Structure 1
Amino acid sequence: MTPTIDDIRMAAKRIAAEAVRTPLLSNAALDEITGGRVFLKCENLQRTGSFKFRGAFNAIASLSDQERSHGVVASSSGNHAQGLAEAARLFGVPATIVMPADAPAAKRDGTRRRGASIVEYNRATDDRDAMTASIVADTGAELIHPYNDGRVIAGQGTIGLEIAEDLAKRGEHADIVMVPCGGGGMSAGIGLAISVESPETEVYLAEPEGFDDYGRSLAAGAIQRNPRTDGSVCDALMAPQPGAIGFAINSATGAHAIAVSDAEALAAVAFAFRTLKLVVEPGGAVALAGLLSGRIDARGKTVVILLSGGNIDPVVLERALAA
């Protein structure tokens, strides 16, 4: 199912009682550095520490009681895992997560703490989709894909509604909204909402270098795969290729894409910690990295940067601060 703006608005009503309406913050130092008017949409402060709770909760809320009775399953490196585990806990349904063995400890622990079962796999050698399909076949559980699911995309699109609404309350209008991108579910949802609520605003997707499948796909007009499945500090953004549903939306709304290096992502983590007083994981900081590295020219513009997650292991934060 390809979601519509009405699906996003319905999702906003479904999640309102449980999801955090995250703040849209400004910072004078960031404005001075960039020469623009910059706002930060802080999904690192969302329930479970990332935007993923929105889509996961909306997806489970959309199921019938009969469908929920069989449980839910997904593959995830950690943020969707925690979001789905928390949503499943709230609905009282079992959740199984197929998770890479090298997923950050904070994400593994958070997933287990919320009651989900974890099945580990090797990113480089195992087929996570086949493993997930096997669990669905054996248990009858409902697959909640982390990004190629219309219900999930609609849930993530509520971020775009909030951005447009909160800017309007301030008498502001965004020239650019910049979003971290892995499989493209969040960017598609936000892009769809922004295309309706603020059609003059451009949406940029930020990816890690070496995992720039979205940029290549948009340029080619067809879905392209990444050459590898591991090897970036941005663990949350290493999807093998764009999801078909989100790619169709991002193509239709005219999204742009940039890529940043691991060093730039870590520098953005350090900047967020030291200057913004915010804890952000590398994958959640790639949009900020794109701004700080100058890949987006913010001079004289109003720019919204999405900080998509804050589930960072201490050793990675130490690495960022030591660089």
Structure 2
Amino acid sequence: MSVTYADILAARERIKGQVDHTPTRHSRRLSELTGAEVWVKFDNLHYTGSFKERGALNRLMLLTPEERTRGVVAASAGNHAQALAYHGGRLGVPVTIVMPEGTPFVKIDGTRRHGAEVVIHGADFTGATEEAKRQQAEHGYIFVSAFDDEGIVAGQGVCAVEFLEDAPEIDTLIVPIGGGGLMAGCALAARAIKPDIEIIGVEVAMYPSFTAKRKGEEPRCGGQTIAEGIAVKAVGDIPFAIADPLVDDIIVCEEADFEKAVAFYATLEKTVAEGAGAGGLAALLAHPERFKGRKVGLVLCGGNIDARMLAVVLNRELVREKRLVVYRILGDDRPGMLSKMSAVIGGLGGNIIDVVHNRLALDVPAKGAEFDIMVETRDAHHAEEIREAMKEAGYDMRMA
């Protein structure tokens, strides 16, 4: 292989004391929820908020003095960018980052704050990479891939070394896959330390590039995903060559799975995960029967989610759980109508959050109005109890 376990151990010594050894915790809540014994490695607690620091620092420390002077350029949706910018600044290496349009503001601001020059270019990671290569040719920079680089892969493998030192009992390791750098490094290290461990990858349904390459198919990728950190159209050649023979299975998850995982990390583990970072939990929640009774390790690989998006995800989860419900009601447009409906809802313990009147819908009588009443409830059973009470009170309920 182009990268060996010895390279990972060398990377660990090289970056020692400069990158946090992130904590690993057994999660009683997630274990009770899924039926597996679950351990979480909190790589969202790195200074720059993701696992990328190990690979970025290792690659920078492998530069020659002349290459450090020339500086580096990279394409990144955010986490590789921040890690490279932060450690480049520490080491005195000039860093230029090309980020695709639509990159979360929190990642753009974080990268600039660490002193890197940021260029926004390209509709996706592929377009950003093309611009980074152009800048490399024009300015003589050293191109540092976010994943398709031996030094990057070796550094990322340190994650699994730490994980299995802190939780040697795990028999299943679940790792998100974008370009494949984290998976390649972790799979190589985990298999060297514990040959019988099961290694599972997670991809987002909009960007199943590793799965497609395994099947010898052209990947069909595209669209806006909450898991933008793994929204990569083509897995790297180096990480794929390493990971393909070592990975036992790939689980492709839908957007709702990632959203639920982000929400559960916030509500159950009291920690912030970005979409890609929550990939392992997304797979576990989507297929609990697949992992029942197993000792599962989840790499929570990043927490750089935009605050607005986190709020959206948490509210959407309330809607899925029927703890936030919109009742659409057809009624007369006359004084006291709303107060009567509110009395029914409030009498059953529902908390009205918002009310919208629609008097212009053509399927509503001219003397009537359509009311969209958003209500906070305890759970799905409580929501249905309120719905039935409104029907019994004579209100015409519609689908919202």
The aligned residue for residue 136 of structure 1 is: 136
Find the residue that maps to 2:157 and give its secondary structure. Answer: helix
Q: Which has the larger radius of gyration?
A: 2
What residue identity is the alignment partner of 2:276?
G
The aligned residue for residue 204 of structure 1 is: 200
Distance 1:184 1:225, change over 3 A: farther
Q: Offset of 1:260 from its aligned partner? A: 1.0
Tell me which moved more, 281-290 or 127-136.
Answer: 127-136
Q: Could you list the structure 1 runs, at least 4 aligned residues long, displaced by more than 6 angstroms after superposition.
A: none
The aligned residue for residue 190 of structure 2 is: 194
Q: Distance in 2 between matches of 1:124 and 1:296?
A: 35
- Structure richer in strand, relative to its length: 2
Q: Offset of 1:298 from its aligned partner? A: 2.3
Find the residue that maps to 1:77 and give its secondary structure. Answer: coil
Find the residue that maps to 1:9 and give its secondary structure. Answer: helix
Q: Is the 8 A contact 1:123 1:229 kept in 2?
A: no
The aligned residue for residue 274 of structure 2 is: 281
- Corresponding residue to 1:268 among 254, 261, 269: 261
The aligned residue for residue 307 of structure 2 is: 314
RMSD between aligned alpha carbons?
Answer: 1.6
**Is residue 73 of structure 1 aligned with residue 108 of structure 2?**
no
What residue identity is the alignment partner of 2:273?
V
Find the residue that maps to 1:49 and give its secondary structure. Answer: coil
Structure 1, unpaired ranges of 5+ = none
Distance 1:113 1:125, change over 3 A: closer
Q: Offset of 1:139 from its aligned partner? A: 1.6
Structure 2, unpaired ranges of 5+ = 317-400
Q: Is the 8 A contact 2:76 2:125 kept in 1?
A: no
The aligned residue for residue 10 of structure 1 is: 10
Q: Is the 8 A contact 2:71 2:141 kept in 1?
A: yes
Q: Distance in 2 between matches of 1:80 and 1:197?
A: 26
The aligned residue for residue 39 of structure 2 is: 39
The aligned residue for residue 179 of structure 1 is: 175
Distance 1:240 1:296, change over 3 A: farther
> Normalized against structure 2, the TM-score is what?
0.76
Q: Is the 8 A contact 1:42 1:307 kept in 2?
A: yes
The aligned residue for residue 99 of structure 2 is: 99
Find the residue that maps to 1:48 and give its secondary structure. Answer: coil
Residues 100-146 of structure 1: CA distance to partner in whole angstroms, max 9, x if unpaired? 12100000000000000111113259733321111111222111100
Q: Distance in 1 between matches of 2:284 and 2:46?
A: 22
Q: Is the 8 A contact 1:187 1:250 kept in 2?
A: yes
Find the residue that maps to 1:240 and give its secondary structure. Answer: coil
What residue identity is the alignment partner of 1:118?
V
Q: Distance in 1 between matches of 2:243 and 2:44?
A: 23
Q: Is the 8 A contact 1:124 1:230 kept in 2?
A: no
The aligned residue for residue 149 of structure 1 is: 149
Q: Is the 8 A contact 2:179 2:234 kept in 1?
A: yes
Q: Distance in 1 between matches of 2:8 and 2:61?
A: 13
Q: Offset of 1:230 from its aligned partner? A: 3.6
Q: Is the 8 A contact 1:215 1:256 kept in 2?
A: no
Find the residue that maps to 2:111 and give its secondary structure. Answer: helix
What residue identity is the alignment partner of 2:187?
G
**Is residue 300 of structure 1 aligned with residue 293 of structure 2?**
yes
Find the residue that maps to 1:236 and give its secondary structure. Answer: helix
Find the residue that maps to 2:291 and give its secondary structure. Answer: coil
What residue identity is the alignment partner of 2:282?
A
Q: Offset of 1:215 from its aligned partner? A: 1.8
Distance 1:244 1:296, change over 3 A: farther
Tell me which moved more, 30-39 or 273-282.
Answer: 30-39
Find the residue that maps to 1:40 and give its secondary structure. Answer: strand
The aligned residue for residue 374 of structure 2 is: none
Distance 1:309 1:254, change over 3 A: closer
Task: Name the % identity.
Answer: 36
Q: Offset of 1:292 from its aligned partner? A: 1.2
Residues 137-176 of structure 1: CA distance to partner in whole angstroms, max 9, x if unpaired? 12221111000000000000000111121123xxx2x221
**Is residue 257 of structure 1 aligned with residue 250 of structure 2?**
yes
> Normalized against structure 1, the TM-score is what?
0.94
Greater length-normalized contact order (CA 8 Å, ≥ 6 residues apart): 1
**Is residue 85 of structure 1 aligned with residue 98 of structure 2?**
no
